[in-house]
């Protein structure tokens, strides 16, 4: 379930957004409480000063923020600086939303796609964005994530086939890494943001460079 907060009084904007989510069969919840964390924010502004609201949002690293504002180069440039995901002009919202639907869908899939796995005989799920890396050990994989480690009887090839995500890359015969969590890449290893160092296999160096 994706939680969405809309800071707009224009009913047509909400209608367009909800129609898109329903067509794409994305489970969502529109939240009215601005004090609760949301996965996605759509924020309508009138001026550059209104961007101060970004400092008040409850968000995490994967949170998506879309601004709807006037056709103004300075405001759009400031949104880029603040790492807003997309900027829509208010008077042309419907047309621009249609143009960027593919980008929106890709954003959502990359950040909020779930992976289902067996745990203690039960089906559990975790967001792909919360997985740091996956390790192969004999006939099992170990999923290292924000929520701890989970073991599943599967190999790395099967894991990649199941997730179908360009955000994950194999760097070694025993390791797959989430590119969102990479801090640095050296000639010999990948350094993750959580300070974990993983070796790069000789056969995978070209793949890493191309990605």
Give bridge partners of residue 118 from the DSSP assignment.
123
* E strand residue ranges, 100-139: 114-119, 122-127, 131-137
d(CA 5, CA 194): 30
Q: Which residue has the tokens 């409480």?
A: 33
Q: 189 vs 57, 141, 169, 174, 176, CA distance in Å?
A: 36, 20, 13, 13, 12
Q: Are residues 169 and 189 in the same domain?
A: yes
Please, which contacts does 59-65 make with residues 24 or more away whose CB atoms are closer than 8 Å?
A: 61/129, 61/180, 62/111, 62/112, 62/127, 62/129, 62/180, 63/38, 63/39, 64/39, 64/40, 64/107, 64/108, 64/111, 65/40, 65/41
What pTM value is reported for the model? 0.71
116 belongs to a structural domain:
no
Residue 119: exposed, middle, or buried by beta-carbon count in 10 A (0-12, 13-18, 19+)?
middle
User: Which residue among 93, 111, 129 closes a domain?
Assistant: 111
- Residue-wise pLDDT for 130-181, tens only, equals 899 999 998 899 999 988 999 998 999 999 999 888 889 999 999 999 998 9
Range with lowest mean pLDDT among 22-36, 42-56, 60-74, 132-146: 22-36
pLDDT over threshold 80, residue 31? yes
What pLDDT does residue 113 have? 86
142 belongs to a structural domain:
yes
What pLDDT does residue 34 have? 65
d(CA 60, CA 38): 9
- Residue-wise pLDDT for 168-211, tens only, equals 999 999 999 999 899 999 989 999 999 999 999 988 888 787 76
Residue 125 structure tokens: 């799920």
pLDDT over threshold 70, residue 101? yes
Q: Are residues 143 and 101 in the same domain?
A: no
What pLDDT does residue 147 have? 86
Q: Are residues 54 and 88 in the same domain?
A: yes
Q: Are residues 107 and 6 in the same domain?
A: yes
What's the domain count of the chain? 2
Q: Are residues 137 and 100 in the same domain?
A: no
Range of the domain at 62: 2-111
DSSP designation for 204:
G
Q: Residue 58 maps to which CATH number?
A: 3.40.50.2300
- Residue-wise pLDDT for 104-120, tens only, equals 998 998 888 888 887 77
What pLDDT does residue 144 have? 96
Q: Are residues 103 and 157 in the same domain?
A: no
DSSP designation for 197:
E
Range with lowest mean pLDDT among 24-28, 98-102, 123-127, 146-150: 123-127
Q: Are residues 18 and 106 in the same domain?
A: yes
- Residue-wise pLDDT for 66-76, tens only, equals 999 999 999 99
d(CA 153, CA 18): 38
In the structure, what pLDDT confidence band is assigned to residue 18 with cuts at 50, 70 and 90? very high
Q: Are residues 26 and 55 in the same domain?
A: yes
């Amino acid at each position: 379930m994706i939680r969405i907060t809309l800071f707009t009084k224009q009913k047509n904007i909400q209608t367009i957004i909800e129609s898109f989510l329903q067509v794409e069969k994305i489970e969502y919840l529109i939240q009215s409480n601005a004090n609760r964390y949301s996965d996605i924010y759509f924020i309508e502004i009138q001026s550059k000063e209104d961007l101060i609201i970004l400092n008040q949002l409850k968000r995490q690293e994967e949170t998506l923020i879309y601004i709807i504002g006037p056709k103004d180069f300075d405001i759009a440039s400031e949104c880029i600086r603040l790492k807003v995901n997309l900027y829509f002009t208010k008077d042309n919202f419907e047309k621009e939303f249609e143009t960027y639907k593919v980008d929106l869908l890709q954003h959502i899939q990359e950040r909020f796609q779930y992976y289902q796995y067996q745990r203690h005989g039960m089906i559990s799920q975790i967001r792909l964005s919360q997985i740091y890396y996956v390790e192969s050990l004999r006939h099992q994989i170990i999923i290292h994530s924000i929520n701890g480690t989970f073991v599943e009887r599967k190999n790395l090839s099967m894991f990649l086939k199941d997730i179908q995500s360009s955000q994950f890359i194999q760097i070694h015969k025993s390791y797959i890494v989430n590119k969102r969590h990479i801090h640095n890449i050296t000639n010999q290893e990948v350094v993750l943001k959580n300070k974990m160092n993983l070796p790069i296999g000789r056969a995978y160096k070209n793949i890493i460079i191309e990605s």
